[in-house]
């Protein structure tokens, strides 16, 4: 979608998720290191958060570090961890000031003790905020999320607090990472690839997908407005016919 969308959105997605892709390529195109691209991408995070708040989005979920990203060069992973710590230190107070609730989803046990402590301090600080929920997926994978929920249910069956017959889509959903948030409406991927890379597999069942060639550091306010404008024009049928939803 190339034409710019203005402020006349009718149907605003309540839950937006973004795969923030293209930092490394953005840097390489400018003769910089991949690390420089990740640092530049922080500004796009700030912009996306402020734009989502401005338009009344209830939940924003950002894919920061997948469970597969550990396979990247050791130096890049180390810098990403340092950058995560830096952002937590600098940005969470601003989020708190704007009544944003912050949380990290994923298996944080692999992170350093200092980073785990910083995550907990950040989550505790914003826990009672009533505004938008900002979820950062770190060491997260969609398959892990589903398997973890299944493991919890298996434990309940094992200790006789639940029967096998009680396991439904609804009960499994209760133990996935974003169970307490609105259903995912819009999943955006920047950087030109057309896949969701093991992100929010359960939650994306009926989400609208939006793919853009824009590299993450160039993803500005207008780019997010364009994505939400495209969502605004989609007909969401959820298995019904177009005629049924117009009744």
Q: Which residues have CB under 8 Å from 63's CB, separation 6+?
A: 17, 18, 19, 20, 137, 140, 197, 199
- 218 is known as an active-site residue: no
Rounded (5°) CA angle 215-217-222: 85
CA 37, CA 21: separation in Å to the nearest integer? Answer: 10
CB 179 within 8 A of CB 203: no
From 21, 23, 139, 185, the catalytic residue: 21
- 21 is known as an active-site residue: yes
CB 208 within 8 A of CB 227: no
From 69, 98, 129, 148, the catalytic residue: 69
Catalytic residues: 21, 69
């Amino acid at each position: 979608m190339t034409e710019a969308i203005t402020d006349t959105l009718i149907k605003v997605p309540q839950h937006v998720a973004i795969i923030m892709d293209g930092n490394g390529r953005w840097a390489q195109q400018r003769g910089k290191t991949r690390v420089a691209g990740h640092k530049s991408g922080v500004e796009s995070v700030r912009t996306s958060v402020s734009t989502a708040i401005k338009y009344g989005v209830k939940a924003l979920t950002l894919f920061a570090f997948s469970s597969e990203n550990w396979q990247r060069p050791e130096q890049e992973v180390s810098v990403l961890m340092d950058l995560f710590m830096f952002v937590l230190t600098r940005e969470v107070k601003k989020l708190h000031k704007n009544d944003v609730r912050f949380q990290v989803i994923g298996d944080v046990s692999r992170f350093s003790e200092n980073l785990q402590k910083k995550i907990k301090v950040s989550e505790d600080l914003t826990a009672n905020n009533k505004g938008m929920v900002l979820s950062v997926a770190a060491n997260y994978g969609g398959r892990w999320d589903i398997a973890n929920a299944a493991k919890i249910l298996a434990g309940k069956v094992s200790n006789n607090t639940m029967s096998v017959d009680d396991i439904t889509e609804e009960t499994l959903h209760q133990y996935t990472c974003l169970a307490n948030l609105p259903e995912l409406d819009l999943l955006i991927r920047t950087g030109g690839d057309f896949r969701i890379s093991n992100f929010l597999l359960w939650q994306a069942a009926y989400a609208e997908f939006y793919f853009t060639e824009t590299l993450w550091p160039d993803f500005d306010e207008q780019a997010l407005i364009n994505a939400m404008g495209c969502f605004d024009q989609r007909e969401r049928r959820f298995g019904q016919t177009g005629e049924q939803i117009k009744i």
